[in-house]
A and B are shown apart, each in its own frame.
Chain A
Amino acid sequence: MPRETLKIVGFLCNWCSYAGADMAGMARMRQPDSLRIIRVPCSGRVDPLLVLKAFQEGADGVLVSGCHPGDCHYGNGNYFARRRLELLKRMLPVLGIDPGRFHYTWVSASEGARWARLVEEFTGQVERVQEAQPNLKIQSRIP
């Protein structure tokens, strides 16, 4: 599957990662355009179900990024997120979703270059998984 048709959903916290991605954009760093960013107030807002819903609706990969642990704008949202997302990550293989399709990480507002690199790496990773398992979506069969 060509990279251009990949659909990757990114849930980015408003305070760090979204600003980081913004910085990468303003610095005109080259990044794959397969990522669709959804800005959320905090990585703690990212209910694991949002990730699963994205997969159900046909996303090929999901990326969640928040403030570095210790730097949460709200104090401890990303600590809660970390527990949930780690659990989710380990549950994906049971659901038949290659864990390579999901990544959670922490990117600060000043890490534009790191963000660009990370998106590039993750897109490549999803691409490889997609080749091995192209058929991800649970199919509907309504008459």
Chain B
Amino acid sequence: MSTVPRKGIKAAEPLVPEPATIIDVIKEGPNIRSFRLIFDDPGITTAFSFAPGQIGLMGIPGVGESTFAISSPPSQRDYIQFSVMKTGFVTSAIHELAAGDAVAVRAPLGCGFPVDSWKGKNILIVGGGIGMAPLRSLLMHILDRRKEFGSLRVFYGARTPADLCFAGDRVQWENRDDIEFIATVDEKHPGWSGHTGLVPQVIAAQPPAPENAVAVTCGPPVMIKYTLAALQQLGFTEAQIYTTLERKMKCGIGLCGRCNIGAKYVCIDGPVFSLDELKNRMVDGRW
């Protein structure tokens, strides 16, 4: 996916991050928080441009850095947002941070969604849990340019209602009539009146047509596996399905070696891939 130019990261010193400051922390769920930040150098915040789906490395010097999808849309010029699930060493330290705290960021990296090539098409977005982060950026970007696309349908699943992120945004999405937003949780839950069931089942119950459509999915590996199967069953071709992946990364610039899937590097060739490019290699999760 070399459709999106890379801007913002220091070309001369790509491994050196820019100091930034957290301006807001939003608690999204039991172990997910969104961090809004601005660069300490105001010139960078102003010039910062990226495509939905691009990633960044946010870290705390002295602890380390990790890769996250940018979850704010390109039109958001006041800050950039990363949504972080607490899983390991670095993310646990990040979760301790509050507004006013300092971080260091290398972004944007990788290639985003080729949104321009989707003009006029029906868009299907399928997210699961924290996998909604890059899709939030994409969805809000599409909503910014809503007229350029056909129908827009979003499936968003999580284990429990509490695990569904972006509560504030969801209310807006659900209330718009130019988007069909379907949230689902795995099992019935007190106080939950929405859909229940796994994402692939919910898709199968309201099957989207593959004609003139693209499908984008991001979520836990097991959800992706069954969602891909469900989409292919409906007639979506490999070239019509996009996904955005996450691998362990260190450098983010295609040098350190660990994030490759075959000859493709998730950090520079991805994280957005069409299924076509991966030749289904991602399905067993081992490469």
Direct A–B touching, Cβ under 8 Å: no
